[in-house]
């Protein structure tokens, strides 16, 4: 089991460029999440998806779009990158059919917007 | 909205000693879940320990234990016999209830174990 995988690991963009962060999980989990981590601020939820075909906004959704392509994959898109989106992005997944929903995290993507 | 506060940005302790990391939270919920996550230099987030609010007994996982004080809204992590591999950022996190699916994180405590 690879768990939760993310691509790319690092990315540098110029202001205004677009890109998509990819996330996949092989644990047959229903729920998937995107977080961003900024220095001194902990992790903040951007978007989440409770099941294939559904997505909901989290705490900081502005400037992002998501797609739950299928049960395994959940992508995060920046349409027009801004320096304020420089951050480390984490994808996570959990099994909402369990009584207790531990979230499993990917290794993160470090994004720099110049 | 829930808030999670970690008031110790950095801590250090000698190897083999015991260290306690603090976490307080604010909520009006009665049944909720609390977590401690570890983030080593590799950046991978790893669940260390969890506590269900309806359980009075403090959770324990090997060298890691919590002191859960529901009335005081406090959830501290104790690491006994600390090891060099415990060096990491530690995040306290809150989940409103089992179906809420959203974690609220504190700002983290950077723990360094000194050889």
pLDDT tier at A42, thresholds 50, 70, 90: confident
Tokens of residue B55, six digits: 């359980």
Q: What is the pLDDT of residue B56?
A: 85
Residue B98 is nearest to which of A43, A92, A101, comparing CB atoms?
A101
Cα–Cα distance between B78 and B69 in angstroms, integer? 14
From the candidates B101, B102, B104, B110, which should be mutated to test the interface with A, based on the most A CB atoms within 10 A?
B101
A23 burial type by CB count under 10 A (0-12 exposed, 13-18 middle, 19+ buried): buried
pLDDT of residue A83: 96
**More confident of the two residues B56 and A26:** A26
**What pLDDT was estimated at residue B105?**
94
Cα–chain center distance at B40: 14
Please report, rounded to a whole number, the percentage of residues in chain B having pLDDT higher than 70.
98
Whether the CB-CB separation of B46 and B37 falls below 8 Å is answered with yes
* pLDDT value of residue A41: 81
Put simply, the answer to whether B101 touches A94 (Cβ < 8 Å) is yes
Tell me what pLDDT residue A65 has: 97
Q: What is the pLDDT of residue A97?
A: 66
Q: Which of A42, A48, A58 is opposite residue B91, by nearest beta carbon?
A: A42
Q: Please state whether the peptide bond connecting residue A8 to the residue before it is cis, i.e. omega within 30 degrees of 0.
A: yes
Q: Cα(B24)–Cα(A82) distance, rounded to whole angstroms?
A: 33
Does B21 have pLDDT greater than 80?
Answer: yes
pLDDT on residue A98: 64
Query: What mean pLDDT is reported for chain A?
Result: 92
Q: A9 by DSSP, 3-state: which?
A: coil
Averaged pLDDT for residues B8-36? 95
| Cβ neighbours of A107 (radius 10 Å) | 17
Interval A61-107: pLDDT, tens? 999 999 998 999 999 999 999 999 999 999 999 987 666 678 899 99
Kindly tell me if the per-residue pLDDT of B98 is higher than 70: no
Contact B105 A96 (CB under 8 A): no
Residue-level length of chain A:
114
To the nearest 10°, the Cα dihedral for B3, A50, A38, B109? Answer: 50
Does B100 score more than 90 pLDDT? no
Are A41 and B107 within 8 A, CB to CB? Answer: yes
Residue of B46, B95, B102 with shortest CB distance to A58: B102
**Which band of pLDDT confidence, cut at 50, 70 and 90, is reported for residue B83?**
very high
DSSP B58: P
Q: Which of residues 66-105 of A touch B (CB under 8 A)?
A: 88, 90, 92, 94, 96, 99-103, 105
Taking CB atoms and an 8 Å limit, are A100 and B99 in contact across chains?
no
Residue ranges with strand state E in chain A: 4-7, 10-13, 19-25, 31-38, 42-49, 56-57, 65-68, 74-78, 87-94, 104-105, 109-113
Q: B92 vs chain A: nearest CA distance in angstroms?
A: 9
What is the reported pLDDT for A99?
A: 61
DSSP A81: -
């Amino acid at each position: 089991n690879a768990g939760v995988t993310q691509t790319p690991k690092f990315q540098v963009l110029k202001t205004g460029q677009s890109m998509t962060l990819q996330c996949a999980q092989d644990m047959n989990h229903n729920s998937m999440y995107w977080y961003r981590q900024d220095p001194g601020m902990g992790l903040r939820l951007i978007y989440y998806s409770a099941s294939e075909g559904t997505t909901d906004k989290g705490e900081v959704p502005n400037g992002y779009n998501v797609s739950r392509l299928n049960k395994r994959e959940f992508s995060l898109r920046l349409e027009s990158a801004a320096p304020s989106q420089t951050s480390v992005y984490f994808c996570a997944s959990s099994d909402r059919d369990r009584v207790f929903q531990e979230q499993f995290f990917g290794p993160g993507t470090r994004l720099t917007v110049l | 909205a829930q808030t999670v506060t970690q008031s110790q940005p950095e801590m250090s302790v000698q190897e083999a000693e015991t260290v306690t990391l603090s976490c307080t939270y604010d909520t009006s919920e009665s049944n909720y879940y609390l977590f401690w996550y570890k983030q080593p230099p590799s950046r991978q987030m790893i669940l260390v320990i969890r506590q269900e609010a309806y359980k009075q007994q403090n959770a324990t996982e090997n060298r890691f234990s919590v002191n859960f004080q529901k009335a005081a809204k406090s959830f501290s992590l104790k690491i006994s016999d600390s090891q060099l591999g415990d060096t990491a950022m530690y995040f306290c996190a809150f989940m409103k209830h089992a179906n809420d699916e959203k974690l609220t994180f504190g700002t983290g405590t950077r723990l360094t174990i000194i050889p």
